[in-house]
Amino acid sequence: MIRVLIVDDSLVQSELLKSLLESDAEIHVVGVARNGEEGVKQALALKPDLITMDIRMPGLDGFEATRRIMQDQPTPIVVVSSSVQTPDLQITFNAIKAGALDVIEKPSIATGGNYEAIRERLITTVKAMAEVKVIRRRPVRPLGSPTYSPPTQISRQPIAVVAMGASTGGPAALNTVLKSLPRDFPAPIVIVQHMAAGFIQGLIQWLQIESNLPIKLAQHRQTVQPGEVYVAPDDQHLYFASRGTLAVNTDPPVSHVRPSATVLFNSVAAVYGAAAAGVILTGMGEDGASGLEAMHRHGAVTFAQDEATCVIYGMPRVAANLGAVDQLLSIDSIGAALVAVTRSPE
């Protein structure tokens, strides 16, 4: 039985959430907190397996409540939000940075035809996230910049593009990587991040706060530029139609997801061959693994986030098992690795 604590100031929303969660026989709601302060107290007292966290609440908001819980009683937290307004999105992604695992759309009676799909995503996410082993988050003194020592390699082509794929835990991982890259990073970066509908633009705005590089929502027939970052839009596959030109489509999901990192990686393998670097980050499932293997087979440099720093070591594990990964690296080392491999050979 998965024991869940709901933190939400709306009586109607919390009762709806409770009803949806308990429609699954494996989930039991052990408490409902009406604000962040009460949520922190109940997390300590009840020690639930998982917490669903609202964002905008009187007094202590979802970010501050998440930060305190992750310091005092580390617990898997899923942000449940209905808002795509900029201030609330800022709080949402700050909560993820503080240790929340994922963000999903808040169910609503007004959801209409998507109601059952949202219910299924809610239950699936809660079951998966309840299994994650979270760690205590204490404020720490910043360390020096991570370094990366590439293995001895034969001569290679210059890297013309970097492709990245991420799912659960990806926003915080992407933030760590992107903020470590210099303003003069010499290649375009193209990203697929699995995200609840309506939150991608907020993710881009949040990532931009700490990134030295401009981050954009990818567009159909867009020409990529060195030192710019392009993120796949909601519910559309992103791929390279030709060298330097992105495209999107609504073809069927691949590995049960759209956008799919495998679609992006396969296109990079076909268009760029060895003149590319591929990165697969934390996430559930297997998306991106076969695509990274295609990149590896075509001579690209490939990295994956290691198990120790992944929220969920799913996608990287499958990629590693396929022999698609040149190196498994901690999330703090991936940025330095990308700088090293994109540096012009001397």
Catalytic residue of the set 49, 287, 306, 326:
287
Task: Please indicate whether residue 194 is annotated as part of the active site.
Answer: yes
Count other C-beta atoms under 10 Å from residue 123's C-beta: 17
Task: Please indicate whether residue 167 is annotated as part of the active site.
Answer: yes
Interatomic CA distance for residues 297 and 291, integer angstroms: 10
Locus of tokens 């991040």: 193
Catalytic residue of the set 194, 237, 296, 298:
194
Tell me the CB-side half-sphere exposure of residue 63, using CA atoms within 13 A.
12
How many degrees, rounded to 5, is the angle at CA 191 between CA 227 and CA 100?
Answer: 115
Q: Classify 49 as helix, strand or coil.
A: coil
How many degrees, rounded to 5, is the angle at CA 280 between CA 236 and CA 316?
Answer: 120
Catalytic residue of the set 167, 180, 255, 260:
167
First CA to last CA across the chain, in angstroms?
58
Question: Six-digit token pair at 310?
Answer: 């992944």
Task: Please indicate whether residue 298 is annotated as part of the active site.
Answer: no
Count other C-beta atoms under 10 Å from residue 277's C-beta: 24
Catalytic residue positions? 167, 194, 287
